Chain A
Amino acid sequence: DAMVIQNPRYQVTQFGKPVTLSCSQTLNHNVMYWYQQKSSQAPKLLFHYYDKDFNNEADTPDNFQSRRPNTSFCFLDIRSPGLGDAAMYLCATSRTGGEETQYFGPGTRLLVL
């Protein structure tokens, strides 16, 4: 089945220790998104790729970076995680962006000790 896969599902890291979250998709969609969702809050868009073009949201901290080496994979790098970065990180894809439907992965729950 075509889908959006995120690994790992749970990630524990130490304060200040870099961490990388992974997303892959078999939908062959052009656009991939990373959202941060804290408990009882709306998903907050961090950035997205349209193909290889990177689009950063204005309020996304510099601590968050992303890489998209090919159509299928996208990575979220948190360079120096703080306690406030503990959250669910959601990857989503859409065929062409804009009004196209976004399909979400199951998320990675990040815990910072």
Chain B
Amino acid sequence: QKEVEQDPGPLSVPEGAIVSLNCTYSNSAFQYFMWYRQYSRKGPELLMYTYSSGNKEDGRFTAQVDKSSKYISLFIRDSQPSDSATYLCAGGYQKVTFGTGTKLQVIP
């Protein structure tokens, strides 16, 4: 079993839709959680960082962590074509473990 699981997609949504991206993880030791956005043939770019359970909002992006169910979510409001990318979730304690990423396509 992979430590961090993501549906690879692709997930296609119309412009303006609310997007929900999800991950599950198995390592109870994870203390902090991240979402990275990765455009094609580029390096990952940090979007959200959350320490322990709870919600965090930054503009159109909201990250949720539920440690009791080992579930991580990223919500994107008013999605834009420029949001089209692969979204990697990650958990960490001493080192970071990434999911394989969910490919998102926002259709104009």
Residues of chain A at the chain B interface (Cβ within 8 Å): 4, 6, 40-43, 45, 88, 90, 92, 98-99, 101-107, 109
Which single residue of chain A is at the shortest CB-CB distance from B3? A42
B32 in contact with A43 (CB, 8 Å): no
- Contact among B34, B43, B97, B100 for A105, CB-based, below 8 A: B43
Given contacts A40-B100, A43-B98, contact A107 B43 (CB under 8 A): yes
A49 to chain B, nearest CB (A): 13
Please provide the chain B residues from 37 to 73 with a CB less than 8 Å away from any CB of chain A in the complex.
41-46, 49, 51
Q: Contacts of A41 on B, CB cut-off 8 Å?
A: 100
Contact with A along B1-44 (1 / 0, CB 8 A): 01010001000000000000000000000011010100001111
In the complex, A40 Cα to B88 Cα: how many Å? 11
Give the total of B residues in contact with A, Cβ under 8 Å: 26
B106 to chain A, nearest CB (A): 19
Q: Contacts of B98 on A, CB cut-off 8 Å?
A: 42-43
A98 in contact with B94 (CB, 8 Å): yes
In the complex, A99 Cα to B46 Cα: how many Å? 14
B101 in contact with A101 (CB, 8 Å): no
A59 to chain B, nearest CB (A): 13
- Contact among B42, B46, B94 for A101, CB-based, below 8 A: B46
Which single residue of chain B is at the shortest CB-CB distance from A10? B41
Which single residue of chain A is at the shortest CB-CB distance from B98? A42
Q: Contacts of B34 on A, CB cut-off 8 Å?
A: 101
B43 in contact with A104 (CB, 8 Å): yes
Going nearest first, the 8 A-B pairs with the smallest beta carbon separation are A104-B43, A42-B98, A107-B43, A106-B43, A42-B100, A104-B44, A99-B32, A43-B98
B4 in contact with A42 (CB, 8 Å): yes
In the complex, A103 Cα to B49 Cα: how many Å? 12
Which single residue of chain B is at the shortest CB-CB distance from A42? B98
In the complex, A56 Cα to B93 Cα: how many Å? 17
A42 in contact with B99 (CB, 8 Å): yes
